[in-house]
Each structure stands twice: as structure tokens, then as C-alpha cells.
Amino acid sequence: MDRQLTVLLLEDEIIERKAIVDYAETVDDIEITCATGSMKEALEHISTNFTDAIILDLDLRNGDGDGLAFLQSLQKLDIPIMPYILITTCNRSKYIHKKLLEDSDFFMSKVNSFYSPKAIIEHLRMMKHIIHNSFQLEVASEISIPKIPENTNSPFEGKISLEFNKLGISHTSTGRKYLIDAISICIDMPQQKNIPAVVAMNHEKKVKTVEFAMQNVIDKTWRTVDSRILLKNYTASICPQKGMPTIKEFIHFFADKVKSACTRQSNND
């Protein structure tokens, strides 16, 4: 069994904090090691305890600081691995949302209908393997993955892009480009086991950055696109508890789909 994801919760609303802790206690793969409304206490905990992820309420009002100040202080801490940061907020400012995307890994708006303590914990559960894998890759510096030259004229890129258009995946999304590259690599190099790491090397990004961007695209697609469109264009089975494919499942499904389409076209020609 995989180790639990250790989580720090910084939320100054007592009822909200308790609701998140209560739901986390119903699952066996998340451990909230510190639940507090104090920025000072949260920083002291992270300084002395390994933490996989942080749930941060940006709108701290009853504590001893605010969310943005916490993020600035967190960057100054001498910790080997930066935790995954999930921010919650009631703020509707587009500027703040843009800033959050730069300073955190994911954020949830408390004013959206899908927001709930369950949604917070289930998001972390969905991201657990990515967070664990990113940690292992960062600490195992002796592992070297050769960079694969980018093929800007990939014969598959156009067909993959068409499939993404059917799902309504935005052309401006960074995760879209990473996923297209990952699927192309999966078709060309089916023996490659750590595809996100290869994509990260090609784009000179951290593996965690690439994986988060890809998972966010999948997450947004399955939350916003009509279920009939999803069922029509993604026919593989999905774990009911997760409600959406993992990065690996998504990549391999479209690699097989595009490869089969190319084979049929070649046979017809």
C-alpha cells in the first residue's frame, strides 16, 4: 500500500477547517498532520515536518497573517522539497486568480458550485501518485533520463489535436501541448515508462510542473464538458471513485486511438 499523503491545512474558519478534517478522516490515504488557522504555527510545522501538500485558505481573516504573506514566507524556508499547494479562496479578482496560478499548483474558488471539503480532499487523492512520483524524481538525482529531440513535424500531432478539439480542450492551455507531446512519444516509443519525465526534459521544465499542467487539463475537461461528449470521445473505463482518467490512462487511450486511426487510413490508401 502506498504511503499516506501528509497534508497541512491552513484555514481560519473553524467550521470549514473541521469539515475538511472530518472528510479526510473517512479516507485512508490522506493524513492531515496539522490543521490550524495560524500562519505562524503552519510555518513552524512545515519547517520541522515533511509535508506533501498544503491546503491554504487565501482569505485568512481570523489568524495572524494572510495567504499571500504565507506563500512569500514559505518560499524563504529552507525545505528540500516544496509541497504541492492547493489554494481555496472567495476572491473573484481575475488578477488574483492569475497570481494564484503562478504561485500555487491548483486553486479552488469557494463560490463555485462544485466546491466542498470533499472536493478538496478528493483532488489531493487524485494527485497523490503525481505528488509522490515528483518527490521521488527530485530526490533521486542519480537517475538520468536522456532528452529526446522534439519532432516538430510529428505525423500524429494534427490527429491528436483534432481529438482534443472534440473534447473542447483550449488551444491556449500549456497542459494541452504537454499532453500532445506525451501521446506522440507514447506512439513512437511505447516502451518508454516515464513519459512525463521525457516531456519535462524536452521543455526544460520540472516533472511536477508538467504533470500538474496535464492533470489540470484533464480535471477541467471532465468538470466542464458535457458528459455525452466525454462518453462519445473517451470510451475507456474510468474508476468511479476518481470520476476521470489518470494522466497515464488518458495518454495511452489517445495513443491507441490515434495509432489505430493511422493504421486504418494506411490500409485504405
Q: Which domains does the chain have, with CATH numbers?
A: 5-139 (3.40.50.2300), 157-268 (1.10.10.10)
Give the position of cell 506533501. Answer: 52
For residue 79, what is the enclosing H or E element? none
Q: How far apart are CA 188 and CA 42, in angstroms?
A: 46
DSSP per-residue string spanning 163-198: HHHHTT--TT-HHHHHHHHHHHHHHH-TT-S-HHHH
- List all residues 6 or more positions away from 164 whose beta carbon is below 8 Å from its beta carbon: 176, 179, 180
pLDDT > 90: what percent of the chain?
Answer: 39
Top-confidence residue, 142 or 135: 135
Top-confidence residue, 130 or 252: 252
pLDDT on residue 93: 66
Whether the CB-CB separation of 89 and 16 falls below 8 Å is answered with no
Q: What is the CA radius of gyration of the chain?
A: 20
pLDDT band at 183; cut points 50, 70, 90: very high
Average pLDDT of the residues in 169-197: 89
* Residue 229 grid cell: 461528449
Q: Is 56 exposed, middle or buried (0-12, 13-18, 19+ CB in 10 A)?
A: buried
CA atoms within 13 A on the CB side of 93: 8
Q: Per-residue pLDDT for 252 more than 70?
A: yes
Top-confidence residue, 67 or 250: 250
> What digits encode the pLDDT tens for the residues 2-44?
678 999 999 989 999 999 999 999 999 999 999 999 999 999 9
